[in-house]
Amino acid sequence: MSDTILIVDDEQRIIDLARMYLEQEGYTVKSATDGAIAYRQIREDEPELIVLDLMLPGMDGLEICRRVRAESDVPILMLTARSDDIDKIVGLELGADDYLTKPFNPRELVARVKAILRRGSSIERRGDGSAAATTIGNLTIDPDRRLIKVGDRTVDLRMKEFDLLMTLARDPGVVFSRERLLELVWGYDFAGETRTVDVHIAHLRHKLEGMTPAIETVWGVGYKLTPD
């Protein structure tokens, strides 16, 4: 059964173009042009991914993102016609997994969708196919169950937060540039839009408070996970 993608945009030509390219890749595509209607569809249809425009009638994309994220971890790819970084950052802080600025190349949209939906492709596995848990200090990562624990406390992470932490934890002490993390975690060249990494790192530090190891900033380079 193919993944269902809901495209929410008030421009029908955008929906039609995205639908054509996504359906060529085997995805099932549904759509909505009104924010309030889209929110009801999300709750009823439970799509595997939402492509969500920022500016919508009825309810804007940021409000939809906020409401959806309070109820679900469904991946959200935000669309914005604005060039102001604050809109992108707010969307990411509300829980969007990624964003594209209009006008966009539909092939880039397909690449982003594939990257977001790709889960656990590089997880190290045992001979029986199960993934080995990783423990560093008081941090435990169980890839099979996508479970994170800091000491005895279970921590709920969104998909990209988990993948980002897992990438750092595979090579503790190794410094990863923001560009390299974008390539490894998001699965493509993000054309210098490295603020996405910074926002997700900030989320991790907040959620993993009290964790040893620590996520360290290496100024001018990127980030590393320091064991002690």
CA–CA separation, 42 and 64 (whole Å): 10
The pLDDT assigned to 82 comes to 66
Output the CATH code of domain 4-117.
3.40.50.2300
Task: Tell me whether domains 4-117 and 134-226 share a fold.
Answer: no
Q: Does 83 or 67 have the greater pLDDT score?
A: 67
The pLDDT assigned to 34 comes to 94
Every domain of the chain and the residues it spans: 4-117, 134-226
The pLDDT assigned to 139 comes to 92
Query: pTM of the full predicted structure?
Result: 0.66
Residues 3, 27 contacting (CB under 8 angstroms)? yes
Residue 194 above 80 pLDDT? no
Residue 1 above 80 pLDDT? no
Rounded mean pLDDT, 38-54: 93
pLDDT confidence bin for 204, thresholds 50/70/90: very high
Helices (H) and strands (E) in the chain, counts: 8, 12
The pLDDT assigned to 121 comes to 39
The tokens describing 142, both together, are 């169980």
Rounded mean pLDDT, 155-183: 88
Taking alpha carbons only, the member of 109, 187, 203 closest to residue 155 is 203
Residues 121, 167 contacting (CB under 8 angstroms)? no
Owner of token pair 């620590």: 214
Angle at 73 between CA 72 and CA 74, to 5 degrees: 95
Q: Which CATH class is domain 134-226?
A: mainly alpha
